[in-house]
Amino acid sequence: MSPATQDGRTGVDTGLGDRFKPSNVASGREDVPPLHDILEQTEAHVATRDFSIFYRDNEAVKKITMEIPMRLVTAIIGPSGCGKSTLLRAINRMNDLIPGCHTTGEMRFDGQDIYDKKIDVAILRRRVGMVFQKPNPFPKSIYDNVAYGPRLHGITRHSRLDEIVQRSLVQAALWEEVKDRLDTNGLGLSGGQQQRLCLARALAVDPEILLMDEPTSALDPRATTRIEDLIGELRGSYTIIIVTHNMQQAARVSDLTAFLYEGVLVEYGPTKQLFTKPREKQTEDYITGRFG
């Protein structure tokens, strides 16, 4: 697979967008192609091989080999402590912040091994955005929150910043609610709004991948629905990888699902299939709520 062949991507021209609309998956249509077909028809955006992550001596993620396709929504599920966050955070090297955390094997993004010495982590993180479990806006104004990333990457012209801020907030479906108070503190918003603000902040640097670590676990049901709708809208434009504890959520929003158990990738396949006909006994036990 060659890296980054297409530039101007839009929501529908992947050819897969309609067929794998999450609603289709959930609606129980039977014509779900198997995983290798999907991967054949779209490029792998992130690919790992024998990828392990250690906290000092403790191997939290064990020899995972998987390919995550471009512009689809991939969910990672698994019981608490199985290494979901660890794996997710490895994709934009957030684990670098944790002393003693190191990796073996390889993780490719756009064909490039991101743990290579020559990688510019700043650019990697710009291209791989992240939304965290708890909404974490900076204690700055809404505008400054969204403009933080673009400024970081050298954009200083006001008109350009205004444009980016507006576009990102529109994309995060927050614009209508905050357009009159862009200069108020981001911490003054409600939890759901804060999370959408964080999403806008991540979108403002124009990433290709969005990593979401349980983005709705701190939100109420209505705010959760909004975020899920947003994921549906962003799908097709971004590669979205979402960690969730909520099986219905995974089923609702994702095209593909990976089930992790004690650091091992137990099963990985189209969501519909994984939730209806899991191949592995462990997967079945987990999704039917027998443990975890």
Partner 1 sequence: MGMKARNLLDRLFSGVGVLAIVVMGLALVLILAPIFSRGAGAYIFKATVEHRRMLLERFERGNAEALAAEAEAVREARAPVYAMLARYAAEDLAGLSGREKREARQRLEEVEDILQELFGPMPGAATPVLPRQQYGATRWDRAEVKLDRLLYVETWDYSDSGSMGQQVLKPRREEFAGTALEPLFGYVETHLEAMLRPEWTFYWGFLTDSSFDAHIFGGIWPELVGTIYLTLGAMVFAVPLGIVSAIYFAEYAQEGRLVSLLRTCVSTLAGVPSIVFGLFGLAFFINTMHVSRSKSVLAGSLTLGMLILPTVIRAAEEAIRAVPHSYKEAAVGLGAGRWRTVVTVILPAALPGILTGTVISMGRAAGETAPIIFTAAVSVGKVLSPWETLTQPTPALSWNIYNLCTEHEAVDEIRHVQFGMAATLVLAVLLLNLVAIIMRARISNKLKG
Partner 2 sequence: MGTPRSSRQSLVMSARANLAAALSRWLGNGLLLAITSVAAIGVLFILFFIARDAVPFFQLRGFKEFFTSTHWYPSQEPVEFGALSIFVGSGLVTLGAALVAAPLGVAAALCLSDVLPFGVRQAVKPVIEMLAAIPSVAYGFFALVVFAPWLQRLGAITGTNALNVSIILGIMALPTVVSVSEDALQAVGRELREGSYALGATRAETLLRTIVPAASSGILAAVLLGIMRALGETMVVWMASGNAAQIPDPWFNFLEPVRTLTATIAGDMGEADHVTGSARYHVLFAMGLCLLLFCFACNLISEWVVSIQRRKLKGE
Ligand X SMILES: Nc1ncnc2c1ncn2[C@@H]1O[C@H](COP(=O)(O)OP(=O)(O)OP(=O)(O)O)[C@@H](O)[C@H]1O
Pick from 1, 26, 35, 124 the residue near partner 2 by CB under 8 A.
124
Q: Do 258 and 79 meet the contact criterion of CB atoms below 8 Å apart?
A: no
Site for partner 1 in 108-137 (CB under 8 A): 121-126, 129-130, 132, 134, 136-137
Name which of 103 and 273 has its Cβ closer to Mg ion: 103
Cβ of residue 205: shortest distance to partner 2, in angstroms?
A: 11
With contacts defined by CB under 8 A, name the span among 107-115, 134-142, 172-180, 187-195 that binds partner 2.
107-115
DSSP state of 66: E
Within 8 A by CB and 6+ apart from 160, the residues are: 150
Name which of 55 and 115 has its Cβ closer to ligand X: 55
Cβ of residue 25: shortest distance to partner 1, in angstroms?
A: 29
Pick from 4, 40, 81, 280 the residue near partner 2 by CB under 8 A.
4
CA-to-CA distance for 233 and 252, rounded, in angstroms?
13
Cβ of residue 4: shortest distance to partner 2, in angstroms?
A: 6
Pick from 35, 119, 173, 264 the residue near partner 2 by CB under 8 A.
119
Residue 198 binding result from ligand X, Mg ion, partner 1, none, given CB thresholds of 5 to 8 Å by partner type = partner 1
Within 8 A by CB and 6+ apart from 49, the residues are: 65, 105, 106, 108
Spatial strand order in the sheet of 58-69 = 58-69, 44-55, 101-109, 112-113
Q: Sign of dihedral through CA atoms 142, 7, 250, 68?
A: negative
The total of other beta-carbon atoms located within 10 Å of residue 56's CB is 10
Pick from 41, 112, 141, 166 the residue near partner 2 by CB under 8 A.
112
CA-to-CA distance for 90 and 166, rounded, in angstroms?
30
Q: Sign of dihedral through CA atoms 125, 130, 133, 136?
A: positive
Pick from 14, 42, 85, 145 the residue near Mg ion by CB under 5 A.
85
Q: Which residues bind partner 1 (CB under 8 A)?
A: 92, 94, 97, 99, 121-126, 129-130, 132, 134, 136-140, 148-149, 152-153, 198, 201-202, 205
